[in-house]
């Protein structure tokens, strides 16, 4: 593994499988950006990520909207300096077209 910090972006992270994935990634040492259509429900997940000793960022995102995806990617680039994440999330949007 390289010395570079790994970063993950989990959509639907406020509950269920999304929350479990975000927390598992944090336990594995990833910084994790989380998003949800219910951002008010992200607080427990963010707390869990931080308790694992990694960084958490809430990102506003509606994967059905290209404009929302573009804004989320710009935030990710600023918060994490991790532009390579953009490709994976942008591909997800194609599922809704």
pLDDT at 56 over 70: yes
User: Which helix (H) or strand (E) covers residue 21, if one does?
Assistant: helix 16-27
CA distance 80 to 86: 12
pLDDT at 91 over 50: no
Mean pLDDT of 3-23: 86
Mean residue pLDDT across the chain: 80
pLDDT digits (tens, 9 = 90+) for 19-54: 999 999 999 999 999 998 888 899 999 999 999 999
Fold classified for 7-89: Rossmann fold (3.40.50)
Query: Phi and psi at residue 2, in whole multiples of 5°?
Result: -75, 165
């Amino acid at each position: 593994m390289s010395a570079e910090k790994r970063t993950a972006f989990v959509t639907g992270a406020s509950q269920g499988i999304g929350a479990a994935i975000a927390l598992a990634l944090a336990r594995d040492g990833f910084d994790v950006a989380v998003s949800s259509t219910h951002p008010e429900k992200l607080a427990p997940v963010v707390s869990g990520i931080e308790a694992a000793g990694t960084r958490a960022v809430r990102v506003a995102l509606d994967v059905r909207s290209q404009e929302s995806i573009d804004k989320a990617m710009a935030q990710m680039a600023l918060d994490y300096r991790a532009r390579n994440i953009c490709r994976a999330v942008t591909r997800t949007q194609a599922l809704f077209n």
